[in-house]
């Protein structure tokens, strides 16, 4: 099969647990940094496209002009029928690329949060594995594209949507506890405290739930990779 294109926006925000699921299915991946690429490839040479997380906002094209090209690639891949998976920033980019909206939220959502599935989410073979506690790390949010199914929500924000072959996930099922700890400690001083969050307590909670999160990630990514491999 053709390889999977993985768009990585930060050096410390790689494919994580997703890499193992792809390898287990015999799917190669090519990781590309859109900010460093002279030009992004088109959708035709890939089995699927994955857009990962990042520190920038999906709406910050002025500071990060490559975001325009990435949104165009995501939209073209969906139009071509390729499975497209967006995670955190990638979810927001995917929503915007397909006619929704990404914008600053009303506060940070970091750590383990309860995620509730909608009826459409319970019927989705991939998103159904999100129910329960999920690892999140974001301050921006999104409105689903026209015609998309909202699959999951937390108390504060939407958490997943699907539109045809496109699946957007606000949580970070790919991240392990050590990478999550680095991300959290790298945030500006006081950023989490302003939203009533204790960074070290958040890190400890994610670490304590790491085994369960890994099992959930394996189920979720296994289901998504199976969809890719069956096409």
Containing H/E element for 225?
Answer: helix 210-229
For the chain, the domains span: 4-229
Model pTM score: 0.97
Is the CATH code 3.40.720.10 the one for domain 4-229? no
For 202, the token pair is 């958040």
Q: What angle do CA 179, 183, 189 make, to 5 degrees?
A: 150
By CB neighbour count within 10 A (0-12 exposed, 13-18 middle, 19+ buried), where does 139 fall?
A: middle
For 66, the token pair is 């490559």
Under DSSP, the state recorded for 209 is T
Contact 84, 166 (CB under 8 A): yes
The per-residue pLDDT for range 80-136, each reduced to its tens digit, is: 999 999 999 999 999 999 999 999 999 999 999 999 999 999 999 999 999 999 999
C-alpha count within 13 angstroms, C-beta hemisphere, residue 50 = 28
Active site residues: 88, 172, 174
* Share in percent of the chain as helix, strand, coil (round to 5): 35, 25, 35
Strand stretches in 90-197, DSSP E: 101-117, 132-143, 149-153, 158-163, 166-169
Q: Three-state DSSP class for 38?
A: coil
Helices 66-79/89-97 angle, 10° precision = 70
The per-residue pLDDT for range 142-199, each reduced to its tens digit, is: 999 999 999 999 999 999 999 999 999 999 999 999 999 999 999 999 999 999 999 9
């Amino acid at each position: 099969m053709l390889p999977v294109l993985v768009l990585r926006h930060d050096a410390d925000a790689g494919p994580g647990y997703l890499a193992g699921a792809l390898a287990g299915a015999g799917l190669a991946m090519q990781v590309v940094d859109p900010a460093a690429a002279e030009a992004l490839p088109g959708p035709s040479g890939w089995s699927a496209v994955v857009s990962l997380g990042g520190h920038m906002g999906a709406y910050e094209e002025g500071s990060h002009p490559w975001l325009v090209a990435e949104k165009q690639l995501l939209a073209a891949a969906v139009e071509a029928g390729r499975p497209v998976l967006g995670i955190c920033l990638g979810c927001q980019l995917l929503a915007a690329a397909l006619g929704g909206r990404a914008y600053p939220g009303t506060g940070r959502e970091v750590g383990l949060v309860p995620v509730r599935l909608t009826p459409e989410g319970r019927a989705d073979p991939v998103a159904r594995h999100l129910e329960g506690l999920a690892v999140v790390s974001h301050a921006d949010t999104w409105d689903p594209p026209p015609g998309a199914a909202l699959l999951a929500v937390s108390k504060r924000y939407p958490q997943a949507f699907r539109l045809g072959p496109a699946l957007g996930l606000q949580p970070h099922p790919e991240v392990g506890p050590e990478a999550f700890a680095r991300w959290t400690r790298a945030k500006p001083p006081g950023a989490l405290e302003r939203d009533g969050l204790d960074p070290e307590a958040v890190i400890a909670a994610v670490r304590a739930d790491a085994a369960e999160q890994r099992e959930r990630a394996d189920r979720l990514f296994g289901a998504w990779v199976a969809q890719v491999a069956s096409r």
